[in-house]
Amino acid sequence: MTRHDEDSPRLDHQLCFALYAAQRAVTAAYRPLLDELGLTYPQYLVLLVLWERGETTVKELTEALHLDYGTVSPLLKRLESAGLVRRERAPHDERTVLVACTGRGEQLKDRAARVPGALLTATGLEAAEVARLREELHRLAARAQAAAERR
């Protein structure tokens, strides 16, 4: 591919579209696995953070997920309605909302632990390929974030 081809306004030459299509396909591959857990993909991501960190603030959750409060708040409301998380004001600061898994949310962790392996099986990817791809994507995200901050 020449430099001219890379600069061409063709859809299949756009990095953003390749990332978008891959993200949609991966999310679709997760869907049946998460349906078994009664979760949407964004809800799964929230629970992953809580399983990893334990009780955390909404602010820390939004930062970990790279989402804004307006996106995370409805997710938490639905997870709370499902009995998987609890939210409460921090005793030391009423402005801070703490989020933690309930016992039911913690129980879901064991079933969810099978999701990554099932995704590997479904996609035919090897663990080393996933690790390499994840590393590249993290590097791309950091560079894109830095570029956005410079503007």
CA contacts within 13 A on the Cβ side of 81 = 9
Q: Is the pTM of this model over 0.85?
A: yes
- Distance in angstroms (rounded) separating the CA atoms of residues 29 and 129: 17
pLDDT tens, residue by residue, 47-98:
999 999 999 999 999 999 999 999 999 999 999 999 999 999 988 888 999 9
Which pLDDT band, with edges at 50, 70 and 90, does 1 fall under?
low
pLDDT at res. 6: 61
pLDDT at res. 94: 86
Q: What's the whole-number average pLDDT of the chain?
A: 93
Tell me which H or E stretch contains 86: strand 85-90
Residue-by-residue DSSP string for 113-141: TTHHHHHHHHHT--HHHHHHHHHHHHHHH
| CB count in 10 Å sphere of residue 11 | 10
